[in-house]
């Protein structure tokens, strides 16, 4: 009763069946195909235009999926968030340090030559309130240490503490504040019976020709997976007759990395001390300490830095696939579904009135049954 296509109705039956078979075969690839109601063979009604866009849609999604997978496995740059937290309740072992002296060119002096100067390294403790007084404990001094954490340099020798101290608390706010104190002195006869000092003129002549003390602080070069030096180098010029004090703030950095649900399924965390900043103070020498040159405090920063790195997860990747597919399918479908629908009813004008005809037939049957 209903013709499926005015053009194909004039063709031979075998040709019509073959054309319908091919149309049904390719319509499977058309995501925008129109399904008329009631459904008849070949069921889905496609068009060349919507079929081409469907294939292009599949190809675009394949390219996007492969590109996103490549980015996930090879260039998964994590999102970073950072906040500062108080460090009152934490305590850390001081990082490894090494000291040396670089004199004016032509002087073959090194840190093991105590006939020019000496170094004292101690653990200091300050208490909140007046109940307890300041305490200092010598950590010992190794004048011939070989710091293996430093790269090869032109320096001939280093000085290191014999043991590592502790850093904890905040000055004036914590009940107990621990720091490391490093003092540099010019050599004075009588301080060490095993050392015969150079003359004060010789020592002053050396210090006034641009010599400098170096402080090297060990830092974790793999903390951020970047090409850091692995140490922080600070230098200080001695000024005879001036009392110099330097506060070196070391900040604890906490790095938490979230899971990506492929390489890892849980968060990992690590922390380390890094150089943060430095404060400088100058004053006149206290009577009786004319041989004092420089004081360096190693102390904790008041706050620690907590950084979280969250790489893209497989769930994020799958979600992007679904979002893109839904957006493209909806946008293109609004046009092509209407296009295929109009094209079908244009070729089959009587099909649109199928419901009214069925209602008339049904009413006729009911009348017949009543009679």
Classify residue 26 as exposed, middle or buried by CB count within 10 Å of its CB (0-12, 13-18, 19+). Answer: middle
Contact call for residues 41 and 24 (beta carbons, < 8 A): yes
- For residue 357, the surrounding DSSP H or E stretch is helix 354-370
Is 4 or 116 the better-scoring residue by pLDDT? 116
Asked whether residue 340 carries a pLDDT value surpassing 70, the answer given is yes
Is 21 or 91 the better-scoring residue by pLDDT? 91
Q: What is the pLDDT of residue 1?
A: 37
**pLDDT band per the 50, 70, 90 thresholds, residue 24:** low
DSSP 8-state secondary structure symbol assigned to residue 293 = E
Return phi, psi of residue 93, to 5°.
-75, 135
Percentage of residues of the chain with pLDDT beyond 70:
79
Contact call for residues 297 and 246 (beta carbons, < 8 A): yes
Quote the Cα angle for 333-337-343, to 5°.
150
Task: Map tokens 């950084």 to a residue.
Answer: 307
Task: Map tokens 């043991």 to a residue.
Answer: 163
For CA atoms 206, 208, 210, 212, the dihedral sign is positive
Quote the tokens at residue 281: 């103070």
Distance separating alpha carbons of residues 258 and 253, to the nearest angstrom: 16
Give the least confident one: 112-116, 209-213, 346-350: 346-350
Q: What is the pLDDT of residue 227?
A: 46
Give the least confident one: 54-58, 188-192, 211-215, 305-309: 188-192
**pLDDT band per the 50, 70, 90 thresholds, residue 217:** very high
DSSP 8-state secondary structure symbol assigned to residue 175 = S
DSSP 8-state secondary structure symbol assigned to residue 45 = B
**pLDDT band per the 50, 70, 90 thresholds, residue 280:** very high
pLDDT in tens, 113-148: 788 888 999 999 998 877 778 889 999 989 888 888
Distance separating alpha carbons of residues 197 and 114, to the nearest angstrom: 8
**pLDDT band per the 50, 70, 90 thresholds, residue 354:** low
Q: What is the pLDDT of residue 109?
A: 61
Is 8 or 309 the better-scoring residue by pLDDT? 309
Asked whether residue 326 carries a pLDDT value surpassing 80, the answer given is yes
Domain edges within the chain:
8-74+315-370, 81-310
Write the CB contacts of 51 (distance below 8 Å, at least 6 apart in sequence): 26, 27, 29, 30
Assess whether the previous peptide bond of 11 is cis (omega < 30° from 0).
no
Q: Supply the mean pLDDT for the chain.
A: 80
For range 226-246, the mean pLDDT = 81
**pLDDT band per the 50, 70, 90 thresholds, residue 92:** very high
Q: What is the pLDDT of residue 80?
A: 85
For range 358-370, the mean pLDDT = 43
**pLDDT band per the 50, 70, 90 thresholds, residue 356:** low
Instruction: Say how far residue 62 (Cα) sits from the centre of its chain.
Output: 30
Asked whether residue 98 carries a pLDDT value surpassing 60, the answer given is yes
For range 184-193, the mean pLDDT = 84
């Amino acid at each position: 009763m209903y013709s499926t296509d005015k053009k194909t109705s004039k063709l031979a039956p075998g040709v019509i069946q073959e054309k319908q078979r091919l149309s049904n075969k390719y319509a499977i690839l058309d995501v925008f195909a129109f399904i008329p109601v009631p459904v008849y063979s070949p069921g889905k009604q496609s068009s060349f235009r919507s079929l081409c866009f469907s294939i292009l849609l599949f190809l675009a999604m394949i390219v996007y999926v492969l590109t996103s997978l490549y980015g996930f496995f090879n260039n998964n740059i994590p999102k970073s968030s950072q906040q500062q937290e108080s460090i009152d309740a934490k305590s850390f072992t001081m990082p490894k340090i090494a000291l040396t002296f670089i004199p004016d060119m032509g002087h073959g002096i090194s840190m093991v030559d105590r006939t020019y100067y000496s170094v004292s390294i101690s653990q200091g403790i300050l208490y909140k309130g007046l109940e307890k007084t300041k305490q200092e404990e010598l950590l010992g001094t190794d004048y011939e240490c070989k710091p293996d954490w430093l790269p090869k340099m032109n320096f001939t020798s280093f000085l290191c503490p014999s043991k590592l101290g502790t850093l904890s608390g905040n000055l004036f706010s914590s009940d107990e504040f621990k720091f490391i104190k490093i003092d540099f002195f010019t050599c004075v006869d009588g301080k060490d019976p095993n050392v015969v000092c150079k003359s004060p003129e010789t020592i002053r002549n050396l210090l006034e020709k641009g010599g400098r003390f170096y402080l090297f602080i060990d830092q974790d070069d793999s903390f951020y997976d970047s090409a850091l030096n692995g140490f922080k180098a600070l230098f200080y010029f001695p000024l005879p007759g001036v009392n110099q004090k330097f506060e070196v703030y070391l900040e604890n950095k906490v790095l938490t990395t979230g899971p990506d649900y492929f390489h890892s399924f849980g968060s990992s965390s690590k922390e380390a001390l890094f150089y943060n900043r430095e404060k400088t103070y100058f004053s006149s020498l206290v009577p009786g300490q004319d041989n004092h040159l420089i004081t360096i405090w190693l102390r904790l920063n008041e706050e620690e830095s907590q950084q979280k790195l969250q790489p893209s997860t497989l769930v994020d990747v799958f979600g992007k696939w679904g979002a893109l597919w839904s957006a493209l399918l909806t946008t293109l479908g609004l046009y092509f579904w209407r296009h295929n629908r109009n094209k079908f009813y244009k070729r089959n004008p009587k099909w649109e009135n199928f419901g009214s005809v069925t209602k008339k037939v049904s009413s006729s049957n009911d009348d017949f049954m009543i009679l």
